[in-house]
Structure 1
Amino acid sequence: MDDAVETGFWRLLRTGSRPVDLVGLVAVPVVLVAVYALPTGVKRGLVFDYTHPTLLSAYTAHFVHFDPTHLLVNLGSYLLLAPTAYALAVFAGEQARFRVVFVVLVTALPVTLSALNLAVVRPRIGYGFSGLSMGLLAVTGLLVVEYTAQTLSAGWCSRADAPLVFFVEATLIALAVRPHTTATLAVAAGAAVVAAGYAVAVGRRARAADSLLHPTARRPGFAELAVVACVALAGFPAVAFPANPTGDGTVLNLYTHLLGFAVTFVAAYSLPEIDA
């Protein structure tokens, strides 16, 4: 390993990480695998029945998977997004806020998403971690802006620019939903216009700055982390909103996916600064 990387990026990541955070991050995939290993009859009792909802199943359903592909997709999504978001938080000095958001995401968001799904009662059951994965995508989007502000930019980016990422993601989500309709294309166009407005404002500040990049951005590992986060942000909507959301008698709950992203982003963005 390159000495500059070891003494810079990785050393700072290790010293900025806390064991309690790592335990929390590891606990989620352990729970997902453990629940998947339960007998099918037990898991059926944990899913969320829209016509006979319970508070317990409103929570447990989000950790239930019956199909190995479904589990692996959600595990892969988590293992990409959660460590990336945490690394961004460490370098941005946002570990405390990340900790609060993460705890809320795995404790309160499941029940919130289930409750919001009751707005349209359907003779159907719901289960799976996808809505929480979209919440992690929102956290990653917010943190990549804070990371850029604290680590990469020379003062032209700030946390207030986070809505740019929100509206870019909204554009990508609307374009990913199939079939394209007048409504989805209108949402995509509207979100793209708002995103372009934010991008123009950020671009003007960047051009007016004496320097574009913070010295840290030129050190190995730091720009690469932002690239990984941006690739995840750009590609994940296509995974969460596939062209064919049906298969094997199941239908992806795209409504939950959208709610997971939007609710988490707004809540995390509204959270005030927390001292570590």
Structure 2
Amino acid sequence: MSTEKRAAVLGSPITHSLSPVLHRTAYAELGLTHWSYDRYEIDEARLPGFLDGLDASWAGLSLTMPLKRAVIPLLDEVTATAASVEAVNTVVFTDDGRRVGDNTDIPGMIAALRERGVEKVDHAAVLGAGATASSALAALAHLSTGPVTAYVRSEARAEEMRGWGERLGVRVLTAGWERAAEGLRAPLVVATTPAGATDALAAEVPDRPGTLFDVLYDPWPTALAAAWSARGGAVVGGLDLLVHQAVLQVERMTGRSPAPMEAMRAAGERALAAG
């Protein structure tokens, strides 16, 4: 008889997470009928107690904000990828009970771009300096052979991005947000900002745009992504990132590869369309 295996996504807020849809679809496609995947509203204060209460049936966890950094002191091991950006979005429990933290956002971002034919660029632009921006820089360390310009709203954010660049081996230039339209001419533009933040830039999309990676997925398309597509540019969206990083999570947690990416993507699209 198969032993029950459990996994879940933790965060706050967590209600609208698509992770259960993606992971459950993968389990169904892989025939893992004894696996379950749930969501739990957990903040930093409740995280240590939640982890300590897990039994041997647990295989892994997906983490979203605000837990990606808070979990690190509670782990037995952190991969080099996760350590490079001080962010863990995946915890795998080993057979001997150890907690191993990983980051699938970075390889997921690289895979999503490569799926659209972006292998190398000679420079890139990052819009914003939030939590996703450091992961974007880590991905760009593999993709950009030249500098990355970050367009940010404050000198403190600019200093932070330059610091991440030094740590990740990326030459980061910074400019004020008021100059963000200039960045749209880069061959690869990564928008890491919250919903609505780039709407005013939609009118500034160049005639022959390169590739836009907009990390949002709801609402979709963003005004910038819609304008980009209308001009003939390639667009990679937040759902692409979500699916690719979830594929890697499923493979790490279950030990089964490859995960059913297209079925997971289709399930995510259906869930978004259903609202």
Q: What TM-score do the two structures reach when normalised by structure 2?
A: 0.27
Kindly indicate whether structure 1 or structure 2 has the higher relative contact order, using CA contacts under 8 Å at least 6 residues apart.
Answer: 1
Q: What TM-score do the two structures reach when normalised by structure 1?
A: 0.27
More strand by share: 2
